[in-house]
Structure 1
């Protein structure tokens, strides 16, 4: 069995030795054995775990708990809980696919708005109903409203009610937040889109340009999610191999 010193495994992975120590401290790799002189001894399992972690963190998808889930997956693998790590990766892929569907739906909603298609308000929803339907917290809804992203009507008793039109707008905001747009940038985006019906929304989300303020902070959501899904599929294969090798 091949073994490595800290400097050797750092060179093999292509990182600084301090990064090796940091990954150990954060629980992203298994605790290495130590020689009587205190030197760490790393194995091929550590090499594979490093590769897994670097693949997992290659694409920064931070919103909606995706980052937290992938960190949890890496830590589970580092602890030798490969079955848990596999399950978390499968959940991660499912959530990415849902975010992609959300983004595609948001694109269609905006196109309908820009085309002048009438938006009917056939239903009224309470905040809790909207929160559960969209999968976002009520605190998040309040924050968006306080920052001017949505003006919600109130009934005579003071309770907020959301219309179908409000839900459409919230779906767009949800995807833009997943793309790491700031609240200020979303305001600008919604404003400029209303003034430019010819804009290609999907291209804007995928290929932001420095001179287009409406997409100044876009993290290429659709492209990032696709890349993250492909990486996650590779992670599944790696985890299956690691589980088999250590069972």
Structure 2
């Protein structure tokens, strides 16, 4: 049997050696025997389990991490069928989120093409506007503070007045926010729109994080991230399949 050292398993999984030790301590690897010299002796099975843990648990991931933890522990604890089921559940979750994001962009493109999204009988004050859109007043104020829209004011009392133009813009903002896009990404897109660039707004929403100077904004470049997460979900399924095949190969012949 081929024996691997910690640094070899770490390199194969694309993680630090300490991460492999953490995987072992957290039950993401089968028990690792030690040689007479006290060194850990990892098998090919451990190596593939480490690859699975790395694929499943590294940031970013979508939704509740517990599903991915359950996936890994099921594979390690002798229930690869359940692990495969979890892997397909995760793939479905990512695909649903991607569909939402794609739909939000189509909604945006319809608005950008000049289609009216809201026809209000008369301008509304902020309380009425919040009720009309079923969102909070604080949310409306926050979007305005972040530069996503400018609301005209009544010249007599200076109250904000939301009309059909503002409601159309707000519906686009709300849908994009609900589908995971960051306020910074939405702001970049709206700045492009306001400057007269009404086509290719999809690209404006998906500027890579390193190009916009905010490395902490996971929701920037959101659609592209969802595409990458879907590809990683498919790799998870393939990796669980490898573990199943390896377990079959290691079964004693009868």
TM bucket (normalised to shorter chain) is 0.5 to 0.7
Cα deviation, residue 142, structure 1: 6.1
Cα deviations across residues 52-79 of structure 1 (Å, max 9, x unaligned)?
Answer: 2333356x444533x5433432233233
> Please, what is the CA RMSD of the aligned residues?
3.9
Give distance in 1, aligned partners of 2:172 and 2:95. Answer: 20
Q: Is 1:237 the equivalent of 2:235?
A: no
Matching of residues 36-55 of structure 1 within 5 Å? 38-55=38-55
CA distance in 2, matches of 1:216, 1:35: 43
Name 1:23's counterpart in structure 2.
23
Could you tell me whether the CA contact under 8 Å between 2:61 and 2:229 is conserved in 1?
A: no
- For structure 2, list consecutive stretches of 5 or more residues without a partner in the other structure: 121-130, 145-166, 249-254
Q: TM-score, with normalisation over the residues of structure 2?
A: 0.65
Richer in strand (by share): 1
The range that moved more, 94-103 or 16-25, is 16-25
Distance in 1, Cα, partners of 2:31 & 2:77 = 9
Partner Cα separation in structure 1 for residue 41 and residue 215 of structure 2: 47
Q: Which residue in the other structure is 2:139 paired with?
A: 145
Structure 1 unpaired stretches of 5+? 131-140, 151-163
Question: TM-score with structure 1 length normalisation?
Answer: 0.66
Assess if the C-alpha contact under 8 Å between 2:185 and 2:221 holds in 1: no
Which of 113-122 and 210-219 deviates more? 210-219
CA distance in 2, matches of 1:197, 1:105: 23
Aligned-residue offset at 1:215 = 11
Match of 1:81 in 2: 79
Q: Which has the larger radius of gyration?
A: 2
